Structures are given as structure tokens and as C-alpha cells.
Amino acid sequence: MDADLEVRLAALEGRVRELEDMLAIQQIIARYGPAVDSLSQAQVAALWARDGVYDFGAEPLRGAEAVGKLVELSTHRAYVERGCLHSLGNPVITIQGDHAVATGNSRVYIHEGDGWKVERAAANRWELVRDGEGWKVASRTNRLLDGTEDARLVLRSVDRPLK
């Protein structure tokens, strides 16, 4: 194979891989809502890395299994029984090799009266890692956009490298 051709092919392969990574990460975040709103514990757990964390302001959930079990929390069950939608905004994604950060919003809508109430509006930072099975959530930090500084700090870290 001539050298110029090899360079063009390898460049394309790298660009296609980056596009695949972007869409794979979008898809992981898109999967979160349907999984929690249908009480699908295994599907939630499958999104997280084995030792991944979900910190939503209270004591963080540690490990994929613990994160999956959030669908059993009494607050979550009560939401789902009333009627509940978790919607995730399209995130900003930055990829560095086998690590990535995705920053975006989430909203929780709860059925109330003849409509739905916006129960939560939050800022999210997702840190992801690529392993043998593809991308997984290493850590998700979720902070309410209630006027306190915490959520704004999450949003300002959009381009902050992983560490």
C-alpha cells in the first residue's frame, strides 16, 4: 500500500472512531431515562462501570449494582407510581482517548393534576471510560439548578480535563 494511501485511510479510521465514540456516549445518556422510568434495574446498572459512582447531592451511590438499585428507592418508586419522566438534554462531549466528559441538563417531570410538574432541573457532569465492553459511566454528578453555586460549578467544568 502506498504511503499517502495509508495516511488517508488511517486518518479516516481515527475520525470515524471519534464519531462512533460521540454517538455511543450520547446513547448511554439517552438510555438512562427509559431505564429508570420503567424500573429496569439491570439496564441502569449496565450503564455504569463496575466501580462507577452516582452523586446526586445526598450520599453517593457507589458501584454499578448500587446505582441500579436506585429504582428501588421509595422516593423513586413513588415517582413512577404517580407517572414520571426523566429527560436528559443533549450533552457537550469531550473525548480524550479512553476517557470522556459529557455535560448537560436533566429534568424530572411528575404527573400532577391534569399535567406534569417539573420536579427537578439539574446540571450533570458525566465522566466516562472505555473498557472492553465499550463506554461506561465512571462517575455522574447531578446538582439542582436552584440558585446555589454548586450546579454552576458543574456547568463551568465543561472543558475541564479529567485529571
Q: Please report, as ranges, the residues that interact with a copy of itself according to CB under 8 A.
A: 1-2, 4-5, 8-9, 12-13, 15-16, 19-20, 22-23, 26-27, 29-31, 33-35, 37-40, 43, 80-85, 87-93, 103-105, 107, 109, 111, 115-123, 144-148, 151-153, 155-156, 158
Q: Which of residues 62 and 73 has its CB atom nearest to a copy of itself in the complex?
A: 73
Shortest distance in whole angstroms from residue 157 CB to a copy of itself: 9
Shortest distance in whole angstroms from residue 61 CB to a copy of itself: 21
**Which residues 6+ apart lie within 8 Å of 83 measured at CB?**
110, 111, 116
The three-state secondary structure class of 40 is coil
Q: Which of residues 6 and 51 has its CB atom nearest to a copy of itself in the complex?
A: 6
Shortest distance in whole angstroms from residue 33 CB to a copy of itself: 6
Q: Which of residues 51 and 150 has its CB atom nearest to a copy of itself in the complex?
A: 150
32 forms beta bridges with none
